[in-house]
Amino acid sequence: MSLRGFSRLLYQLKIANQELTSKFERETGFSLTRYKLMMFLKETGKCSQTKIQSELCIDSAAVTRQLKILEEQGNVIRERNKENNREVFVEITEKAREGLERCEKEHSESQHPLYSALSKEEEERLAKLLQKLIKQEEGLA
């Protein structure tokens, strides 16, 4: 692929990301990052802020900003590790669990046009292609 072709592809990904993220946030009421973070905590349970950072592939400052917002909204509880004051543990609140469950019910696959742009096969193929690009980039780093 030429540099020009690759830059065109990257620009299409950028525009798709902006458009779809914006739609996601309007439809669900959650920013994509905070939704992903809360879902991770819902599935994992109480864990360290470092683990969240690693699992979601975002830097520590971004995790701190997102958690501060979620804490102010009453969606997470943060507490310092009593044995290691530098470590912070995070857990999701019942309010957040209820909000996520309500959101999932309102936006089930079968009902919502936001998710119907791609068939299941197209979704799987796109996910594989994106993962291939991510792995390729990791190999270059």
Q: State pLDDT tens for residues 47-90.
A: 999 999 999 999 999 999 999 999 999 999 999 999 998 999 99
Same domain for 21 and 49, yes or no, is: no
DSSP code at position 118: S
Give the pLDDT of residue 51: 96
Reported pTM:
0.84
> Hey, how many other C-beta atoms are within 10 angstroms of the C-beta on 47?
14
Do 25 and 52 share a domain, yes or no? no
Same domain, yes or no, for 121 and 77? Answer: no
pLDDT attached to residue 139? 62
Question: Using CB atoms within 10 A of its CB, is residue 79 exposed (0-12), middle (13-18) or buried (19+)?
Answer: exposed
Mean pLDDT of the chain: 89
Residues 18, 40: one domain? no
Q: Is 72 helix (H, G, I), strand (E, B) or coil?
A: helix
Domain range for 72 is: 33-107
State phi, psi for 131 to the nearest 5 degrees.
-65, -40
Q: What are phi and psi of 30, to 5 degrees?
A: -120, 140
